[in-house]
A and B are shown apart, each in its own frame.
Chain A
Amino acid sequence: MSKFFIWLLLLLILFISPFIGAVSLDVSDVFRPDSLQNSIFFELRLPRVVFAFFAGSILALSGLLFQTLFRNALMTPYTLGISSGAVLGAGVAIKLGLGSLAFGIAAISIFGFLGAMLTILLLIYLAKFLKNSHYESILLLGIALSLFYTSALMVLFYLGSAMQNDILLRFTMGSLSVIGWLHPITITAIGFILFLTIYLYRYELQLLSISDESATLRGVNTKRVTLVLLIVSSFAIGTLVSISGPIGFVGLIVPHIVAKLHPVTVNKRILKTALFGGFFLVFCDTLTRALQTQSELPIGIVTALIGGPFFIYLIISKGKS
């Protein structure tokens, strides 16, 4: 029963979320055309909720995917340094002063995307030197890359002007603030592509969640399936992070919460994880707007503040069993 209330609560938050913020909106004013309230609702709040929802879905699905493919609870695009790669890419674009647009896309986004994709390719390349069974080593590689990127980012801060540093700092804290529908529609489309890809490979994923060997013996081309799923999810994460900046912990904690709520095999948790991830990020984003004082709390900080303690709980409770 408590399951039902958690889902219901999250669904309710989804509906009240667009009305919460610096300007509180009234339902009756919102639907009056040409009012300020109307444009705040349809051009700022609604796109933001849609963006947050699908961003959360992408983060949670990618987390589920990485954890299943590598059979390790700590594997996520965030812990593997893919997000950090995007931040560094964006940092380089800011430092070079590339504010201009190419085909309507900000240079920061392009560089961020490239940073994420280069990181996953580097990880796949480096993983070839590892023995197949030692996925923990990939996690160590990812952590090493993350630390390297963080140091490189510090160098950029050191070299940057005050204004560049301010833009960069805000980017590294993550933001779901969007204007208009371009970004929400992009992320919605990518969210659907990621979900569909995972859905098509749901039984391969279920076999991989037993072991690599079992999957191979039952006829799964494990290398190809793993590669396809990693590339698609890195593409999704790369695009997302290049727009929103890094948003940590969602990919790590949501798959675990869903598994605790619904202890069923992995292919039956795909849709639930996508929905919960979406609800969870909308909830965190609503908090940032509800708690605001002079300006909004950055979303990356809220998810980390909730996710950090949960992460510790996860490690401790794993040690007990």
Chain B
Amino acid sequence: MIKLDSLRCNYGKKTILKNISLEIEKHLTILGANGSGKSTLAKALCNLIDYEGTISIQGRDIKELSLKERAKLISYIPAKLEVYDPYISVEEFVLLSRFAHKKNSMDYSDKDKKITQNTLEFLKIAHLKNHTINSLSSGEAGLTLIAGALAQQSKIIILDEPTANLDPHNCKIVAQHINGLKEYHQVILITHDLHLASFIDSPTLFIKDSQATYYEDDFFQDSVLKELYGVEFSNLAVKYE
């Protein structure tokens, strides 16, 4: 369980999020306009940025966790897979997710390699394992990022705009995998893809004007959406089944 207590995030002098208190029991989808602070909230959860207030996971303040402990609890999937090293392969990239499970200065164990191999096979991208990251298509890159999060074996997985750069076919593949993640992981999904959000169907947090509103299960109704987005909706079609 994740607990936020009077969370406040500033960027320079600008307040991005304020006064957010929330208990996240299980899955959560975070929606909101561009620049509303969705990613800021995700980065605060990973302790990547400064914030006021407290965030605790399973009763422990995340600021008190060691980096490796935190990595075993939370993995974060960014919107885009960007690497400086142009030569790193898919397999090597996914194997790096085992870093927190590895002894300092030692090589990755056979178990780590086995987990990597199984994850690649599970996501049906084992044939890409020797390809360099930079040669992947957006869809393949999206699956590689998910493979990384799975290999990290963290309880919580945060996905930041996983379908932002994908065509409808790859959206569907990624959406189905995210839905599958819900079985063993606590999935926190940030998106403005309403089709994806309604398909994943988790409780929803809507962020607007640096405030957050929580919807247990009554978010995806035309009247609610119209009020929040100011756009007419009629029966948001679910396409990912």
Contact = CB atoms under 8 A, between A and B. Distances in A.
Nearest to B89: A265
Given A201-B105, A210-B93, A211-B82, A218 B100 contact: yes
Contacts of A219: 66-68, 70-72, 99-100
Given A217-B75, A218-B100, A219-B68, A211 B105 contact: no
B96 interface: yes
A263 interface: yes
A207 B70 contact: no
B39 to A, nearest CB: 12
A193 interface: no
B84 A265 contact: no
Contacts of A220: 67, 99
Contact of A210 (B66, B96, B108): B96
Contacts of A263: 86-87
Nearest to A263: B87
B9 interface: no
B88 A210 contact: yes
A217 B105 contact: no
B116 interface: no
Interface in B33-78: 46, 48, 66-68, 70-72, 74-76, 78
Residue of B72, B84, B96, B108 ringed by the most chain A CB atoms within 10 A: B84
A207 B99 contact: yes
Contacts of B67: 216, 219-221
A88 interface: no
Contacts of B86: 263
A150 to B, nearest CB: 30
Nearest to B86: A263
A207 B71 contact: no
A209 interface: yes
A148 interface: no
B97 interface: yes
A206 B85 contact: yes
B100 A265 contact: no
A209 B83 CA distance: 7
Nearest to B47: A216
Contacts of B68: 219
Contacts of B46: 217
Interface size on B, as a range, is 20 to 34
B88 A218 contact: no
A200 interface: yes
A266 interface: yes
A207 B99 CA distance: 9
Contacts of B161: none
A259 B71 contact: no
B100 A210 contact: no
A266 B93 CA distance: 12
A213 interface: yes
A220 B76 CA distance: 14
Contacts of B66: 219
B48 A203 contact: no
Contacts of A95: none
A207 B92 CA distance: 10
A222 to B, nearest CB: 9
Contacts of A266: 85, 87-88
B226 interface: no
Contacts of A218: 71, 96-97, 99-100, 152
A102 interface: no
A265 B92 contact: yes
Residue of B46, B96, B97 ringed by the most chain A CB atoms within 10 A: B96
B84 A264 contact: no
B124 interface: no
B135 to A, nearest CB: 12
A183 interface: no
A206 B105 contact: no
Contacts of B75: 217
Nearest to A224: B67
Interface in B165-224: none
Residue of B66, B67, B74 ringed by the most chain A CB atoms within 10 A: B67
Contacts of A217: 46, 48, 71, 74-76
Interface of A: 68, 71, 200-201, 203, 206-207, 209-211, 213-214, 216-221, 259, 263-266
Given A210-B84, A217-B75, 5 more contacts: A213-B48, A213-B78, A217-B46, A218-B97, A266-B85
The 7 closest A-B pairs by CB, nearest first: A219-B71, A219-B100, A209-B85, A219-B68, A71-B84, A265-B88, A218-B99
28 contacts: A68-B85, A71-B84, A203-B96, A206-B85, A206-B92, A209-B88, A210-B83, A210-B93, A210-B96, A211-B83, A213-B48, A214-B83, A217-B46, A217-B71, A217-B74, A217-B75, A217-B76, A218-B71, A218-B100, A218-B152, A219-B67, A219-B68, A219-B70, A220-B99, A265-B88, A265-B89, A266-B87, A266-B88
